[in-house]
Amino acid sequence: MAITSGTADMRKAGGGKDAPMTAEEKKVIFASSLGTVFEWYDFYLYGSLASIIAKQFFIGDPTTTFIFALLAFAAGFIVRPFGALVFGRLGDMIGRKYTFLVTILIMGLSTFIVGLLPGHATIGIAAPIILVGLRLLQGLALGGEYGGAATYVAEHAPHGKRGLFTAWIQTTATLGFFLSLLVILATRLAIGEEGFAAWGWRIPFLVSVVLLGISVWIRLSMNESPAFAKMKAEGKTSKAPLSEAFGQWKNLKIVVFALIGLTMGQAVVWYTGQFYALFFMLQTLKIDIATANILIAIALLLATPFFIFFGSLSDRIGRKWIILGGCIIAAATYFPLFNGLTHYGNPQLEAALKNSPVVVVADPASCHFQFNATGEKKFPSSCDIATAMLSRSSVAYTRQDAPAGAVAVVKVGDKEIQSFNAVMTADGHNFDADSKKKEADLKKSMGDAIKAAGYPAKADPEQINKPMMVLLLFVLVLYVTMVYGPIAAMLVEMFPTRIRYTSMSLPYHIGNGWFGGLLPTTAFALVAFKGDIYYGLWYPIVIALATVVIGALFIRETKDNNIYAAD
C-alpha cells in the first residue's frame, strides 16, 4: 500500500539523503512553518503594542492597566502546556493533518478577532474578559501548533534530512519578528501616531487574516503524514495517548528527561540570546528602543541561516552534543559577553559601576527575593523598595546589615537617603496614597544622587559602538541556533509514532513557556536581591548546566532512530 508519493518510497528504501528537496517537501515545510510565523508575529505584535492595548481594554492608572495587559499576554504562555495535551492527544488519535488545521484556525481567528474587539469604553468589563479569553485560546492552539509542525515535517522528511527539514521551522521567529515590525511601521507611517493610537493599532492584528487564509488553503491540500497513515492502516493508532504517554513509566521518563535534559536548557539559552539580551539593552543599559531593536534585528538576520546549518549538521554528526554543546558554551561565556554589551553599549554606566559604589544599609529580614511572575505583586519593605529602584536604574550596590526593624538607608558617595516602609491598600495590590507620594519623593532624591554619582539616565547614542554590539548579539543568537536548530528533530525521534505528538509537545512547551518565559522576571529578581546587574545571568547558566549534566547522562543520540515504529 502506497503511503504517499515518491518521498515515502525514498524514505522506505533508506535513500534520499543526497537528493534535492522536492516541490512537495518544500510545500510541507512552507505550510508547517506558517503556523509558527503566526506564533512569533503575534508574540512581537502584542508585546510591542501592550501599552496601547492597555489603554483600550483596561481601566485604572497607567501602571495598573499596563500590568493587566502584560498579564493577558502571559496567560497565553501559561496555558501552552495544556494546549499541548489537548491537541497532542487529538493529533495522535485522529491524525496530524486535521489537528494541525484546527490549531491554525483557532490561533489565526483569535489574533484576527483582537483587531475587531471593541474596547472598554464601548462594551465595559466584557472587553478585557474577551481579550483574556482570546489570549487563552491562542495559547491553547499554540500548544498544539509547534508539536504538530515538527511532527508533520519530520514524518515527511527523507532519511538523513530530518534535522535539515525541521530546522526551517526554527527560522520563523525571525520572520515573525520582521513581519510585525514592518506592519506596525507601515501602519504608523500611513496614518500617523495619533490615528495609530486611536484605531490604527488594530490593523496589524487584522492583517493576520492574510497569513491565515494562505496557511489554511495550503494545509487543506496536504496529505496526512506518512508515518501516521502507515500506523492507521495497520490499526496501531493509540486509543488513549495521554495515559500511554504519561501513565506508563517507560514513556513518562523520556518526557521528563526531554524536559530537564534538553528543552529546559535550550529554552533559557534561547530566551537569553534574544529576549533577555533585548531586555538588558533596554532596561539596564538604557539604550533607546529603536536602536536596541535595530541591533537585535541585524544580529537575527546574520544568525538565522545557522538554524539551517546546525539542523543539517545534526543529520551528520548527531543532535545531542550540538544542543548540549550550545548550552555549555553559552554558560561559559555569558558573563564576558554581557560585560561586553555594557562596555560597548553604555561606557558611562560601566565607569559609574566601577567608580561609584552604592551601599544599602538594611535589616536583612526586610530584604526579600522579589520574584514577581504576574507583574502585580508589590514589595512594601524599605529594603525592597530601595533595591528595586536601584536595580531599575542599573545601579550596582552592596548591602550592610542594620539592626532589626531599622528603616533602610541608601548611601551614594557622601549622601545618605532614607527609604520607607509602605502601607498597602485594602486589596493588598498597591501602595496607599501617602506611600505613593513617599515613593515618588524617594525616587526623585535617589535619582538626583545617582545622577550626581555619574550614573547616566540613558545611553549616549554617540558612544554606542554599534558594530561591536551587533557582533556580541550575533554570538548570543548563534548559541540560540545551536540549541534550537536540531531540537525539533530530536524531540520527534525520541518518541514512538502512536504518542509522538502528545509526548514531544509537553516538554517543549513547559521548557519554553515556563522555564524560558520566566527568565526576565527571575533575572530581575536576582539582580534586585544581589545588587549586581549581571547576577540575573546565573539563572540561565545554572539551568543550562543542569541540562548538560542530565542530558549527558540520560539522553541518547536519536538521529538514526526509526521514527516509523508505532511502539
Q: Specify the pLDDT at position 5.
A: 35
CB 417 within 8 A of CB 384: no
Give the angle 500-86-214 at the CA atoms, nearest 5°.
85
- Spatial distance between the Cα atoms of 536 and 523, rounded to a whole number of angstroms: 4
CB 273 within 8 A of CB 476: yes
pTM of this prediction? 0.82
| Closest-CA residue to 180 (of 297, 299, 289) | 297
Cβ atoms within 10 Å of 194's Cβ, excluding its own? 9
- Spatial distance between the Cα atoms of 455 and 448, rounded to a whole number of angstroms: 10
- Spatial distance between the Cα atoms of 122 and 104, rounded to a whole number of angstroms: 29
Q: Specify the pLDDT at position 179.
A: 86
On the question of a common fold for 242-346+459-567 and 356-452, the answer reads no
Residue with cell 520574584: 371
- Spatial distance between the Cα atoms of 511 and 270, rounded to a whole number of angstroms: 11
- The domain limits of the chain are 1-237, 242-346+459-567, 356-452
Q: Specify the pLDDT at position 350.
A: 93
Q: Specify the pLDDT at position 9.
A: 39
* Class for the domain spanning 356-452: alpha beta
Q: Specify the pLDDT at position 155.
A: 82
Residue 416 backbone dihedrals phi, psi, to 5 degrees: -120, 125
CB 518 within 8 A of CB 225: no
| Closest-CA residue to 225 (of 323, 336, 147, 290) | 147
- CA dihedral of 198, 204, 207, 209, whole degrees rounded to 10: -100
Mutual angle of helices 126-156 and 487-494, in 10-degree steps: 80
**Residue positions counted in the chain:** 567
Half-sphere exposure of 12 (CA within 13 A, CB side): 12
- Spatial distance between the Cα atoms of 246 and 260, rounded to a whole number of angstroms: 16
Residue with cell 486535521: 98
User: Could you tell me the three cell numbers for 361?
Assistant: 544599609
| Closest-CA residue to 30 (of 152, 116, 128, 144) | 152
Residue 310, CA distances (Å) to 147, 317, 485, 544, 556 in order: 20, 10, 6, 19, 18
Cβ atoms within 10 Å of 564's Cβ, excluding its own? 17
- Spatial distance between the Cα atoms of 418 and 424, rounded to a whole number of angstroms: 19
DSSP element (H, E) containing 412: strand 409-412
Q: What is the pLDDT along the chain (567 residues), one digit of tens a residue?
A: 233 333 443 344 344 445 666 777 777 788 777 777 877 787 778 767 877 887 888 776 565 565 566 667 667 778 888 888 888 888 777 777 778 788 888 888 988 999 999 988 888 888 888 988 888 888 888 888 777 788 888 888 887 899 999 999 888 877 887 888 888 888 988 998 889 888 999 999 999 888 888 878 877 777 766 766 777 676 766 677 778 778 888 889 999 999 999 999 999 999 899 888 988 998 889 998 789 888 988 998 999 999 999 999 999 999 999 999 999 999 999 999 999 999 999 999 999 988 888 999 999 999 888 766 545 567 899 998 998 888 878 888 888 999 999 999 999 888 899 999 999 887 666 788 898 899 899 999 988 988 888 889 899 999 999 999 999 999 999 999 999 999 999 999 998 888 888 888 889 888 888 888 778 778 877 887 888 899 999 999 999 999 999 999 999 999 988 777 556
CA 122 to centroid of chain Cα atoms: 33
CB 537 within 8 A of CB 284: no
Instruction: Classify residue 273 by its DSSP letter.
Output: I
Q: Specify the pLDDT at position 74.
A: 67
3-class DSSP assignment, residue 359: strand
| Closest-CA residue to 483 (of 547, 533, 550) | 547
**CATH match for 242-346+459-567 among 2.170.190.11, 3.30.360.10, 1.10.287.110, 1.20.1250.20:** 1.20.1250.20
CB 564 within 8 A of CB 154: no
User: Could you tell me the three cell numbers for 131?
Assistant: 481579550
Instruction: Classify residue 362 by its DSSP letter.
Output: E
| Closest-CA residue to 253 (of 559, 39, 556) | 556
Q: Specify the pLDDT at position 310.
A: 97
User: Could you tell me the three cell numbers for 152?
Assistant: 508533520
Sign of the alpha-carbon torsion through 187, 190, 196, 200: negative
Instruction: Classify residue 283 by its DSSP letter.
Output: I
Q: Specify the pLDDT at position 490.
A: 95
User: Could you tell me the three cell numbers for 411?
Assistant: 548611601
Instruction: Classify residue 29 by its DSSP letter.
Output: H
User: Could you tell me the three cell numbers for 179?
Assistant: 513581519
Q: 1-237: what fold?
A: Growth Hormone; Chain: A; (1.20.1250)
CB 72 within 8 A of CB 131: yes
CB 205 within 8 A of CB 112: yes
